[in-house]
Amino acid sequence: MTGPVLQVAVGTPLMRLFDYLSPDDANGAARRGQRVLVPFGKRRRVGIICGVSETSDVAPDKLRRAISILDAEPALDADLMALLDWASTYYHHPPGEVYAAALPIALRKGTAPRAGSETCWRLTTDGENADRDAIAKRAKVQGRILALFDETGDTLGKDRLSAAGATWDRAIRALVDKGLVERITREARIARAAAVDRRRATPPEPTPEQRVAIDAIRTARGYNAFLLEGVTGSGKTEVYLRCIERQLENDRQTLVIVPEIGLTPQLVDRFEARLDCAVAILHSGLNDTERLLAWRAARDGDAGVVIGTRSAIFVPLARPGLIVIDEEHDTSLKQQEGFRYSARDLAVWRGRQLAVPVVLGSATPSFETLENVAAGRYTHLSLPRRAGAARQPDIRLIDLRHQPIRDGLTEPMRDAIARHLDANGQVMIYLNRRGFAPSLLCTSCGALTECRRCDARMVLHRGRNKLICHHCGAERPLPDACEACGTAELLPVGQGTERLESALRDLYPDRGIVRIDRDTTRKRGEIGRKLEQVRSGEARIVLGTQMLTKGHDFPDVTLVCIVDADQGLFGTDFRASERLAQAFVQVAGRAGRAKRAGEVYIQTLFPDHPLLRTLIADGYGPFARAAMTERRDAGWPPCACLTLLRAESPQRDAAFDFLRAARAAAVDVLAASGDDVTILGPAPAPMERRAGRFRGQLLIQAQQRGQMQRFLTPWRARLDELQQGRRARWSIDVDPVELF
């Protein structure tokens, strides 16, 4: 025999592993979780060893020898391997891509896990004894650098030294030349925040409800899932922090997952200011080395807390103690392309696997989580609607019919804005539509300017003087005349945040106005600056899109205006009402957070809509219960399981031919198994053409997960065989959050 055979996950879209002979120089046994460099076709690829066996089903003449094993210690530990193995099976996604998703890009490319060194500096003996005042008098920056060394007595890297001034690098070179400082190279590590920040924070005394939640989570032994329900500002973060502190006392790490937009500098600052440990941060803005650093800090146990977005659910933890999912209802926790996993669902699986508690926090829990609470699988902890503060905001529905409307605002809403501004209140205006106007209408022939590649209208952006398609990103200069009839009577129709901002500036020229949407926060650090303007009170009016709803704390807002409540009311997706309610509660929750009671004004064409009424009169909980009954009757999640097969192609027929063949294969599979699984479609996506591709889908409905999985495994194998699949791009989405 040729020695052990390695079963390797290689990054391809194939649902299987590849067998290789052990490399010649394999010193020691190959182990599961190690990275291995293998020849793959004409190329070399980095794969993950998923198993080691003495035999292989592959013909001996086809077996190739692996080039080398890249890790001494497995890059993925046994717990992560189990998680990824399960995820690949459950989401029916190729193992090679699943394992790759769990590794920082640097490791995917084959870099040594210890790579990433940094240059830093420390004082020499001469430097320790040098006359500080004499140096500081002639060279300010050098003086500040010496002061930094004196404060910490440490080895300092660029990140810390740059605080001395923009010309720090020139100053440090001068200090090296004088022999006061020496330059060294060390393995890069994340630093804990300066202790000076920590002294500023005075932890608030927990409320009785917070106490109950903290105690419940702290006393949990082994796996336990909790829903921590409470609006932003009710003190969820304080509960997290107290539980994390207890974990630190026991020398255990906590993994905190937050939605993309929630990972703001403010949140990070708050954690660093409070916790006596290094905090590893993982978000999309990091470069490869920074990511590797954070990953390693988590794995080696250098970081007491790891905060990250979705993909951080895969970081290795040396001493796991707790997993927190903040804003667990947020759809950005589900990856929407490629490997379509839910970080929330994987967190629960991982918590069980690691035998640690999992806390799911939200003001507006997903129906899936509420169902788990109802079934007794999760423990429900709830915080009163607001910590310390007075009462519920007053909510007022404004009928948009039979009313004069200027710039999208009715008279009552304008009055309310003026009233709150005069009373020195802060006003927040929510309009989930960016740009100036959502369409451009020819008043002569009635044509609307449409995108050439999508079934959608172009949005007018006045600031950039362009028409932009929000679906494919296409841009066009503003037309001088109608493209259909040639006349020049083009009218911007509808309200976007850009237009609303300009209207508000005309109305209140002397008030600070800040707009927060994707267009105004494009540059790095921009969002932080804008949030600061709101917090400091410099801005009296803050307007924006969905971005405003995600976890930012604006304690002085007394009035919240929802300009158009109707966008989400009649969505195509069965989850439209859940989404709308979540956005509502999240937005309305901003009003009157501190001492003053707030007001919420909502403009709608349907003031009698039962959903709005229930939500406003009774709150999110009763709304959710009512909506859940509908879900049960209709067989929608969380009362049933869904899987979506999507297909797209520049040729309409290619996409739908594939879906029809897929349906036939499904019928075939079901005839053999006899399981009660329903197939709906093929149906065109709600926006059939996007970025020049025609899109369609097939919806699979089953009563139980087991049934769904029994169906999906053989079906997926059949899909891979379908000839029609070669002419269309397709993907499987288990537990989809978006139905198109």
Q: Which residues bind DNA (CB under 7 A)?
A: 12-14, 16, 18-21, 38-43, 56, 58, 62-64, 723, 726-727, 729
Nearer to DNA, 63 or 139 (CB): 63
Residue 94 beta carbon to DNA: minimum distance, rounded to whole angstroms? 9
DSSP 336-401: -SSS--BHHHHHHHHHHHHT-EEEEEESS--HHHHHHHHTTSSEEEE--SSSS---PPEEEEEE-T
Q: Which is nearer to DNA, 64 or 385 (CB)?
A: 64
Q: Smallest gap, in angstroms, from Cβ of residue 713 to DNA?
A: 18
CB of 91 to DNA, least distance (A): 16
Nearer to DNA (CB atom), residue 69 or residue 627: 69
Strand 557-562 with 599-604, pairing:
parallel
Contact 310, 343 (CB under 8 A): yes
CB 228 within 8 A of CB 256: no
Kindly tell me which of 366 and 649 has the beta carbon lying closer to DNA: 649
**Tokens at residue 88, please?**
């690949």
Residue pair 628/634 in contact by the 8 Å Cβ criterion = no
Question: Which lies closer to DNA via its Cβ, residue 56 or residue 289?
Answer: 56
Token pair recorded at residue 76 = 């993925």
State which residue, 13 or 622, has the beta carbon closest to DNA: 13
Minimum CB distance to DNA, residue 650 (Å): 10
**Cα–Cα distance measured from residue 271 to residue 525, given in angstroms and rounded to the nearest whole number:** 19
Helices (H) and strands (E) in the chain, counts: 23, 33
Pairing verdict, β 409-410 and 513-516 = unpaired
- Our CB check for DNA shows the closer of 43 and 200 to be 43
When the beta carbons of 56 and 533 are compared against DNA, the nearer one is 56
Q: How far is the CB of 65 from DNA (least distance, A)?
A: 7
CB of 12 to DNA, least distance (A): 5
In angstroms, the CA 600 to CA 562 distance is: 8
Shortest distance in whole angstroms from residue 17 CB to DNA: 7
**Least Å from the CB of residue 679 to DNA:** 23
Residues 257-282 as b/e (b if ≥16 CB within 10 A, e otherwise) read bbbebbbbebbbebbbebbebbbbbb
Q: Determine contact, residues 459/435, Cβ cutoff 8 Å.
A: yes
Nearer to DNA, 10 or 624 (CB): 10
In sequence order, what DSSP letters do the residues of 404-473 get, joined into one string? Answer: -EETTEEHHHHHHHHHHHHTT-EEEEE----SSBSEEEETTT--B-B-SSSSSBPEEETTTTEEE-TTT-
Query: Which structure tokens are listed for 644?
Result: 């979506």
Nearest to DNA of 39, 525 (CB atom): 39
Which residue is it, tokens 């495994």?
Answer: 713
Residue 575 one-letter amino acid: R
Smallest gap from residue 13 Cβ to DNA (A): 5
Q: Give every CB contact of residue 227 below 8 A, 6+ residues apart in sequence.
A: 328, 360, 361, 362, 365, 369, 370, 372, 373, 378, 379, 380, 381
| Cβ 264 to DNA shortest distance, Å | 33
Closest contact distance (angstroms) between CB of 665 and DNA is 17
User: Minimum distance from CB of 8 to DNA (Å)?
Assistant: 8
624 neighbors 367 (Cβ within 8 angstroms):
yes
Give the residue with the Cβ less far from DNA, 338 or 571: 338
Q: Environment class of residue 508 by beta-carbon count within 10 Å: exposed (0-12), middle (13-18) or buried (19+)?
A: middle
Query: Contacts from 503-511 at CB under 8 Å and sequence distance 24+?
Result: 503/406, 503/407, 503/408, 503/409, 504/429, 504/541, 504/543, 507/414, 508/421, 508/540, 508/541, 511/421, 511/540, 511/541
Nearer to DNA by C-beta: 185 or 723? 723
